[in-house]
Amino acid sequence: MSTKVWLSTHERALDPEDATISVYDRGFLYGDSVYETLRTAGDRVIELDAHLDRLRRSAAGIAFDLPFENEHIARALRETVAAAKNEDSRIRVIVTRGVGPIALDTRVAEAPLLVIMVEPLVVPDAEAYERGISAIVVGREGSIRPGLKTGNYLGNILALRRAHERGADDAILCNAEGAVAEGATSNFFMVVAGSIHTPSLSTGLLAGITRGVVMRLLEQELGMPTCERTVLVEELRAADELFLTSSVRGIMPVTTLDGRSVGDGSAGPVTRRALEVYSEFLQGRAK
């Protein structure tokens, strides 16, 4: 297993110690970049087209016209995954607006930079998915453009830091109106009396790729459609089951919220079924 980094300045996969960029890159100076986090199953990248589409939506949201075609990114990604030779890989695709003088004016930026980072995939063990994690509800910590995956991630970092300071594993963020939006690095679902609910996109959350896959699987495989709506904090705290979704962790049960057990304090029956169908989905993609 290994970590490899592909840079558009070199057009090939490199060892991390050889993958250097300028300190004048706007991604470093201002967080002026967009990114996606992906994973493989076997040697196949999961939901690549959906991730690349969202990458372009994020770029459009910050008035950034990506010069790299999807096929160019996909080819570079495949080359880097092959070079890393991992059983499964975690992938980060980053596009910065490029190098330029220290100035906020985006017109002074030079050629954008494409970075692809591939490293061994590390997921929680089976016991963690049974035990679940703890979370707390926090306000949105100053996220500038909710719904976009940009390099300016400080709000989510501060929210997760607050959770850790209070002894929790993760944070669930609210929007400016106080409605529950998303996890610090995830989307969330709640189960109430056997029905599944998740915040609607109008809440300002990021439209998670795994969120969409899980919603599709719940309906098609289990006959359990998800209700997208405004979710209040009080409802979240009274839910029978909670779980988070993200590309790396997949489906992660939340069994403690704000210091109180969710349900019986372990993964609930709907969450377990969701875990099973998502695992089957990944196995099918790996073939």
Domain positions in the chain:
4-120, 126-286
pLDDT, residue 97, reads 97
Q: In what order do the strands lie in the sheet with 44-45?
A: 12-14, 4-7, 113-120, 89-96, 33-41, 44-45
The structure tokens listed for 97 are 């607006």
Percent of the chain scoring above 90 in pLDDT: 87
* CATH fold of the domain at 126-286: D-amino Acid Aminotransferase; Chain A, domain 2 (3.20.10)
Given CATH 3.30.470.10, say whether it is the number of domain 4-120.
Answer: yes
Do residues 134 and 97 touch, judged by C-beta distance below 8 A?
Answer: no
- Least confident interval from 17-31, 35-49, 145-159, 247-261: 145-159
Cα 11 from chain centre: 26
For residue 223, what are the contacts with CB-CB under 8 A and spacing of at least 6? none
pLDDT, one tens digit per residue, over 174-212 is 988 889 999 999 999 999 999 999 999 999 888 999 999
Q: Can you give the pTM of this predicted structure?
A: 0.91
Round the average pLDDT of the chain to a whole number and report it. 93
In this prediction, residue 144 has a pLDDT band, given cuts at 50, 70 and 90, of very low
